[in-house]
Structure 1
Amino acid sequence: MSDLMNLPTERDLPPARADRMRRDLLRAAHGRPRRSYRRLVAVAAAAVTLVAGAALVHRVRDEPATQVLAMGPGELTTSLRRAADQCLDWLARHDGDPLDTGPQVPATMADLAVSARQGHRTGILFLNPTGYVACDYDDGGNETTGSFGAEVWPQRDWLPGPVQRLSLSSSDADGGAVSVLGRVSARVHRLVLEHGTGRTTEARLRNGAFGIVTRTADVRADAELVSYDAENQEIDRRPLFPAPGRPEPCFTGPAGTVLYGSAGPDCRPAEPWGR
């Protein structure tokens, strides 16, 4: 199985990056998956860039491998809670590591906004006033593997339009079964993933966050996220998968300051966000 969170092969990496990756994975083999300090998502445009590591955690099977979507800590199943606990444990150990120089985003279970599970793969998103943490957890092998990344908010109170995707994973490189986690503005009353095949999956929305997990593996590379207002009028349509080389759209604040992307003639107003 492949997904957007997979590492590029070593032969595609610069020598220094390859050496660093070897050191990270050796450390991860002792239960310390490396934290990613690059942006999880080039905000409003790029895909998750989590760095994978392995942790020697025994598998526990107590639920069927089905698709599950939980909004907040109160809806967690046993499997989702186990994954969330492991993610927080990884985060806590790295925040206390003097060798780590990336952004510090302390998170607790109370910060959990969305958790989505597809089979043995779980994606978790924590949101708090400092920033956000996205974690990927896989208990489908003899060892549990996982990865996570943290980002201090570049613009916490503003979104690049009605929707901001923060975490995206798929069973295939260009689609398949997907899970998507992120934020929405108050204008969004309905958010739909159009698979590109005529099938759709509706998101769950709560407290400015959204989650989507598909029950079919037919999402295509040209899939789109479509948002609607309270009158069920379409207000935004954007590609689910980021296009390589496509510039990040420009969004400005009330004073005209560019908050996302680069200044240009097609800048649009950013939208306020709150929880």
Structure 2
Amino acid sequence: MNDLLKRPPAERDLPPARAARIRTHLLATARGSRPRVHRRRLLIVATAVLAVIGGVAVVAMVGRTDPTQVVAMGTTQSDPMLRNAVSACLKSMEPNQPGGAPQPKFVAVSASDVALAYRRGEVMGVLFLNPTGYMECSVTPDGAGVGGEAWPHRDWLPGPIQVLGGTSSEEDHGWVSITGRVSPRVNRLVLEHGNGETTTALIDNGAFGLVSRDDTVTANAELVSYDAAGHEIDRRSYFQGWQLPHCYTDPHGTIIYGEPGQQCLPADPWTPQD
């Protein structure tokens, strides 16, 4: 690995979309075109770290072919494999683990904080939510990768949804998994694959998760939110970085998400039952 990847440039002063493009280029340069599972928005990683830019770590792992798909909201719906994944994630956050706690970005979580878990073949993921912050974890036979942070604005969302993490089998297409938070305005959340196919997310207690039905998700994929009347209330690209479509303000008019200069919208409240 060359010096650029050992000491990549900081991205904190770059626009989010530009930072995402740099991060994608570094990953593509480091690993070539070999099939892999791309982790998105991981902040700290226990294994297989390829590049760290401005505190954001990204993991690439060999893709699996088993098409079995499971999304379970909370712990009561989880199957044995997902319960094992929760244990593996919690283990990877313990002190003295490779890349493990204590770290400034780590949030202390437990099994009772599991908002959802998903599985596609041997690739599994868990989203932990609690009043302090969130942790997200991916598990494969090759190891576990974890990341998260304390809430900068726990009670508010950048619009109807906030994507906290996900995976894709290829850099900008393939099969995907997505996890995050959702506002009470959202009655249905759909991933439009970009080819006419769709996958609907499961929503429960302020969290959402989905695993695409197949590997047909394209670079034009969009997450679309609908209210209870069936009206579209939000649409945003999944693959084009993590740039928000707008800036979002709190009730006092202070921008809490996004970049100044965009068309700002009111942030959505987040009201889970803790």
**Superposition TM-score tier, normalisation by shorter sequence:** 0.7 to 0.9
Q: Map 1:115-264 onto structure 2 (within 5 A).
A: 115-139=117-141, 144-243=142-241, 249-264=246-261
Equivalent position amino acid for 2:222 in 1: E
- 1:53 aligns to what? 47
Q: Shift in Å at residue 213 of structure 1?
A: 0.5
Q: Shift in Å at residue 235 of structure 1?
A: 0.5
Higher relative contact order (CA 8 A, sep 6+): 1
Preserved CA contact (<8 Å) 2:181 2:206: yes
- 1:112 aligns to what? 114
- Structure 1's 233 and 103: CA in aligned 2 closer, same or farther, altered over 3 A? same
Q: Shift in Å at residue 80 of structure 1?
A: 0.4
- Structure 1's 191 and 99: CA in aligned 2 closer, same or farther, altered over 3 A? closer
2:269 pairs, out of 253, 263, 272, with 272
Preserved CA contact (<8 Å) 1:225 1:240: yes
- TM-score of the pair, normalised by structure 1: 0.75
- 1:29 aligns to what? none
Secondary structure, counterpart of 1:87 in structure 2: helix
Preserved CA contact (<8 Å) 1:168 1:181: yes
Preserved CA contact (<8 Å) 1:167 1:182: yes
2:2 pairs, out of 5, 8, 11, with 11
Secondary structure, counterpart of 2:89 in structure 1: helix
Secondary structure, counterpart of 2:162 in structure 1: strand
Equivalent position amino acid for 2:263 in 1: D
- Structure 1's 173 and 98: CA in aligned 2 closer, same or farther, altered over 3 A? closer
Secondary structure, counterpart of 2:214 in structure 1: coil
- Structure 1's 98 and 169: CA in aligned 2 closer, same or farther, altered over 3 A? closer
Equivalent position amino acid for 2:70 in 1: V
Equivalent position amino acid for 1:48 in 2: R
Q: Distance in 2 between matches of 1:181 and 1:65?
A: 19
The Cα offsets for residues 42-84 of structure 1, whole Å up to 9 and x where unpaired, read as 7xx9641353516xxxxxxxxx861110000111111000011
Q: Shift in Å at residue 98 of structure 1?
A: 10
Q: Distance in 1 between matches of 2:240 and 2:118?
A: 20
- Superposition CA RMSD, Å: 2.7
Q: Shift in Å at residue 12 of structure 1?
A: 7.1
Preserved CA contact (<8 Å) 2:42 2:165: no
Unaligned segments of structure 1, at least 5 residues: 1-9, 18-37, 55-63
Secondary structure, counterpart of 1:211 in structure 2: strand
Preserved CA contact (<8 Å) 1:65 1:120: no
Q: Distance in 2 between matches of 1:116 and 1:171?
A: 15
Equivalent position amino acid for 2:79 in 1: T
- TM-score of the pair, normalised by structure 2: 0.76
The worse-fitting range, judged by mean Cα deviation, of 120-129 and 102-111 is 102-111
Q: Distance in 2 between matches of 1:172 and 1:208?
A: 28
- Structure 1's 53 and 159: CA in aligned 2 closer, same or farther, altered over 3 A? same
Q: Shift in Å at residue 263 of structure 1?
A: 2.1
